[in-house]
Amino acid sequence: MTELPPLGVVLLVVWGTITALDLVSVPQGLLSRPLVAGAVAGWLAGDLEAGLRVGVLFECFALDVLPIGAVRYPDYGPATVVAATLAAGAPWEFGLGVGAALGLVLSIVGGWSMQVVRRWNARAIQQRSAALAAGEGGAIRLLQYGGLLRDALRGAALTAVGLAVASVVELHLSLDRRTAAGLSLVAIGGALSAAVSGAARSAGRGARLRWLLGGAGVGLLLAVLG
């Protein structure tokens, strides 16, 4: 983790908040995708390479998520921001695993926190049900802005707590290079398993599966030649 000035920390918390908001509330413009969240966080933390590596890793996990209906899933936006910040400044082979471990825990906490916000939203609506039944426009706006504020606070808290934990980990956890590289290999293996599982599940047994296998063949060829 690189030494960050206070402004850098503030910018990372703001970016984490934006990614948390983007996932469900507003604007759902893919800013919360780990590839985007990680690259920007790495750039803000002064290590774009680490941010990109963490972003690609978490993007593989995100490929295992199909956010349909009321399904529950991890929140990878703030998690990727924190993981990229923790991984920054070290050779990526050694920083990736530790960053991923913290980020994955944070993604689970993030997913749980979304459920809490949704319950709070429901409670706020129940409290204003009389105003809604009377068709008061002011009540609708108040509920909407309240929901957005709750989600923004969730994202800010998640990122700030994550960054605080990351600084504690950086200070007190010292791993030998073999263990750090081993953690990275486990994280990469887990990410690849997530990507393959998600791709296979979405592909089913029809034309999409054939195209998936075709794409994998071309990708394998390019990877070998590269």
Partner 1 sequence: MTGGWRALLRLLAIQGTWNYERMLGVGMGYAAEPLLEDLKTVDPVRHGEAVVRSTEFFNCNPNLAGLALGATARAEYEAVPGDQIARLRTALCSPLGALGDELFWAGMVPALVGAALAAAVLGAGWWAIVGLLATYNLFRLGTGVWALRTGYKAGMSVGSAIGASWVPRAVARIGPVAGFTVGLAIPLVAGWFLRGFGWPGGLGSVALAAVGVAVTRWFGPWLTSVRFTLLGIALLLLFRSVGL
Residues 108-167 that bind partner 1 (CB under 8 A): 108, 118-119, 121-122, 124-126, 132-137, 140-141, 143-148, 151
Give the residue with the Cβ less far from partner 1, 10 or 175.
175
168 vs 200 by CB, closer to partner 1: 200
Contact between 10 and partner 1 by CB under 8 A: the answer reads: no
131: left (phi over 0), alpha (psi -120 to 50) or beta: alpha
24 in contact with partner 1 (CB under 8 A) = yes
User: DSSP alpha helices (H): ranges in 128-176?
Assistant: 129-133, 137-172
Q: Which of positions 51-70 make contact with partner 1 (CB under 8 A)?
A: 52-53, 55-57, 59-64, 66-70
Q: Give the nearest distance from C-beta 222 to partner 1 in angstroms.
A: 6
Closest approach of Cβ 150 to partner 1, in Å? 9
Which 167-226 residues touch partner 1, going by CB under 8 A?
178-179, 181-200, 202-203, 207-220, 222-224, 226
Which of 51, 83, 75 has the alpha carbon at shortest distance from 154? 75
Taking the complex as a whole, how short is the minimal distance between the CB of residue 65 and partner 1, in angstroms?
9
Q: What SS3 state is found at 226?
A: coil
Phi/psi-derived region of residue 28, left when phi > 0, alpha when psi is between -120 and 50, beta in every other case: left
**Binding of partner 1 by 25 (CB under 8 A):** yes
Residue closer to partner 1 by CB (options 16, 61) is: 61
- Alpha helices (H) along 33-91: 34-44, 48-62, 76-87
Whole-number CA gyration radius for the chain: 20
Q: Which of 65, 70, 87, 107 is nearest to 166 (CA)?
A: 87
